[in-house]
Structure 1
Amino acid sequence: MSTGLFPELDLDALYLSRSDVNELLGTFSRHGFFLDEREWPSVEHYYQAMKFESEEAREAVRAADHPKKARKLGRSRRRKLRGDWSEVKRVYMTRALYTKCKAWPEVARKLLATGERRLVENSQYDYYWGCGRDRRGDNNYGKVLMNVRAKLREEAEN
């Protein structure tokens, strides 16, 4: 039971940053993959590009020289976001992470090595993908990683 204003830190969870280029399980890691008839330099590139229906906008994001630049392009409101983005964004993140794990066995091994631990995206500012400053966020990135982990485990058993 928490005695303070915020929930206790879950000591059994694995906290990670999706924007750390050195974090194998993050979206910024330089583990490219082939998906939707294109090579993608990172999960971040793919995810940000899928926000747009325009091929020109998608290609500009895909060609960004760093995942941070891809994120900036994806967050720009100069281009119109696809109308269904809020409904499909988690699907695109899942597809990208799963494909990355299938393309890079060391990434899949690291994810599987987390065992049954709860995975948490430790963002202070993101309450959708991360846990937020007060650890009350939705942690959808952690949930996607855990779902991909379950799928990889299921495939390994068959």
Structure 2
Amino acid sequence: MAIFPSDDGENDLFTSRTDPESEFSTYAPYRFHLEGREWPTVEHYFQGMKFTDQVMQEKVRQAGSPAEARKLGRKRHQSFRKDWKQVRETIMTRGVYTRCRTHPDLAKALLGTGDQKIVENSNFDYFWGCGRDRRGENRYGRVLMNVRAKLREEQG
């Protein structure tokens, strides 16, 4: 995780979804319970929820690593959700939020970013990340900032 000055002089927090060393990563090894099961990482949960078939979900959930779960989730299967594009951001938010509620240290770290803009630093992903030219949608950064806002709201 690195902090870089942005064009308007603010400090943006750059993170990587696939860096297991980053506490904000979907690969970070923080287990949580959701959908009636324990998930090893947010990546396992996110990839598993691409499928309507419980057998495929379980195969992804039991993958030996987040990278393996991602690989399984990228394989089109007859049980791949038809509404995936509509629900993927909600699924990601649910996983990140539940992980933060399960691990108070993660919630504290996310709240500790204050009002910084959080950017998923991916050169190749223009949906979840900022893309090479920094003009991507940064949806993962937005998920983190939305979860942060919800946690702050809950603090009262």
Query: Is TM (by shorter chain) over 0.5?
Result: yes
Q: Distance in 2 between matches of 1:12 and 1:94?
A: 24
1:1-12 equivalences in 2 (<5 Å): 8=7, 12=11
Q: Distance in 2 between matches of 1:60 and 1:9?
A: 45
Q: 1:75 to 1:10 in 2, by over 3 A?
A: farther
Secondary structure of residue in 2 paired with 1:48: helix
Q: CA RMSD in A?
A: 1.5
Secondary structure of residue in 2 paired with 1:13: strand
Aligned residues: 151
Q: Distance in 2 between matches of 1:140 and 1:10?
A: 22
Q: In the alignment, which residue of structure 1 is the partner of 2:73?
A: 74
For residues 119-143 of structure 1, give each alpha carbon's deviation from its aligned partner in whole angstroms, at most 9, with x where no partner exists. 0000011000000001000000000
Q: In the alignment, which residue of structure 2 is the partner of 1:111?
A: 110
Q: In the alignment, which residue of structure 1 is the partner of 2:94?
A: 95
Q: Distance in 1 between matches of 2:99 and 2:17?
A: 14
CA drift at 1:88: 0.2
1:29-108 equivalences in 2 (<5 Å): 29-108=28-107
CA drift at 1:76: 1.2
TM-score by length of 1: 0.92
1:115-130 equivalences in 2 (<5 Å): 115-130=114-129
Q: In the alignment, which residue of structure 1 is the partner of 2:23?
A: 24
Q: 1:64 to 1:10 in 2, by over 3 A?
A: farther
In the alignment, is the contact (CA less than 8 A) between 1:28 and 1:67 conserved in 2?
yes
CA drift at 1:22: 0.8
Q: In the alignment, which residue of structure 2 is the partner of 1:3?
A: none
Could you list the runs of 5+ residues in structure 1 that have no partner in the other structure?
1-6
Q: Distance in 2 between matches of 1:96 and 1:127?
A: 21
For residues 23-44 of structure 1, give each alpha carbon's deviation from its aligned partner in whole angstroms, at most 9, with x where no partner exists. 1011000001000100000000
For residues 94-124 of structure 1, give each alpha carbon's deviation from its aligned partner in whole angstroms, at most 9, with x where no partner exists. 0000000000011101100000000000001
CA drift at 1:14: 0.1
Task: Please tell me the residue identity of whatever aligns with 2:152.
Answer: R
Q: In the alignment, which residue of structure 1 is the partner of 2:3?
A: none
Q: In the alignment, which residue of structure 2 is the partner of 1:141?
A: 140
Q: Distance in 1 between matches of 2:68 and 2:131?
A: 23
Q: Which runs of 4+ in 1 moved over 6 A?
A: none
Q: In the alignment, which residue of structure 2 is the partner of 1:4?
A: none
Q: Distance in 2 between matches of 1:133 and 1:67?
A: 24
Q: Distance in 2 between matches of 1:24 and 1:9?
A: 27
For residues 22-76 of structure 1, give each alpha carbon's deviation from its aligned partner in whole angstroms, at most 9, with x where no partner exists. 1101100000100010000000000000001011110000000100000000001
Q: Distance in 1 between matches of 2:92 and 2:45?
A: 8
